[in-house]
Amino acid sequence: MHFLRDYLDKMAASENENRQRQIVVLISGSGTNLQALIDAQNTPALPNTSISLVISNRKAAYGLTRAQNAQPPIPTAYLALQPYLKSHPGKTRTDYDKEIARLVLQGKPDLVVLAGWMHIMSESFLDVLGGETILDGEPKVEKPIPVINLHPALPGAFDGSNAIGRAYEAFQKGEIKNSGVMVHRVIKEVDRGEPLIVKEVEIKEGEPIEAFEERSGEAVIDILDLMRRKKGKCILIVYSTA
């Protein structure tokens, strides 16, 4: 995984490794993984790290409430695809993705985390964060902003929405013995980017889905902490667009 090694080398040479780092989190639903990140910010699991902005493409996403109830409250933003297209005749999905990138830049992130974000990002989003496209009225991104996705399933299993619920149902039917969580790099195909870290999560016979959901959230923090401890750095070093 050369992109990890190269980025680690760059971080090791940085003079600002101990500064406060900021994460922007994109969500679409209940925000289970977001809550895990909220609980972990500025702790040994995510040291010197805070969430600067939470963005949702669904107005009713409970993750927005989680962000607003955090201490201190985390700023939030909302922008949905269809309302955007209706209010901007002639605009396309690509334009929408650029506007999401514009919102992301407002959070001045060191890292962007897709945590249950149910919208496949086009190349236009990654081009803005990578510094290849400059948005009107915005400065050029001088240093590419890494983008990773947290997905509560094993690679190739339960892609897309409601992964925890579908895994739990499959376990009840005897189709699987366990599930898992993974962190992977973002590409055009949903949840198909190269996995960076994968952790299995046990599903216990007779347990309610809420218990499995909670354990999945704990596993997310475990793998983020593992990434940090492997190199003695924080989570922000684990991914590079290079």
Instruction: Establish if 189 belongs to a structural domain.
Output: yes
Q: How many domains does the chain have?
A: 1
Strands (E), 57-166: 76-78, 111-115, 147-151
Mean pLDDT by 10 residues, the chain (242 residues): 35 55 92 86 83 97 96 97 97 96 95 87 90 92 87 84 90 94 74 76 94 87 63 31 26
Domain span including residue 101: 2-237
Instruction: Establish if 164 belongs to a structural domain.
Output: yes
pTM for this prediction: 0.76
Position 2 scores a pLDDT of: 34
CATH number of the domain encompassing residue 72: 3.40.50.170
Active site residue 151: yes
Position 190 scores a pLDDT of: 59
Instruction: Establish if 112 belongs to a structural domain.
Output: yes
Instruction: Establish if 242 belongs to a structural domain.
Output: no
Instruction: Establish if 131 belongs to a structural domain.
Output: yes
Catalytic member of 2, 88, 119, 151: 151
Position 147 scores a pLDDT of: 87
Q: In what order do the strands lie in the sheet with 21-27?
A: 76-78, 49-56, 21-27, 111-115, 147-151, 178-185, 195-202
Instruction: Establish if 209 belongs to a structural domain.
Output: yes
Position 101 scores a pLDDT of: 97
Backbone φ and ψ for 150, nearest 5 degrees, come out as: -100, 125
CA torsion, points 219, 198, 68, 82, in degrees to nearest 10? Answer: -140
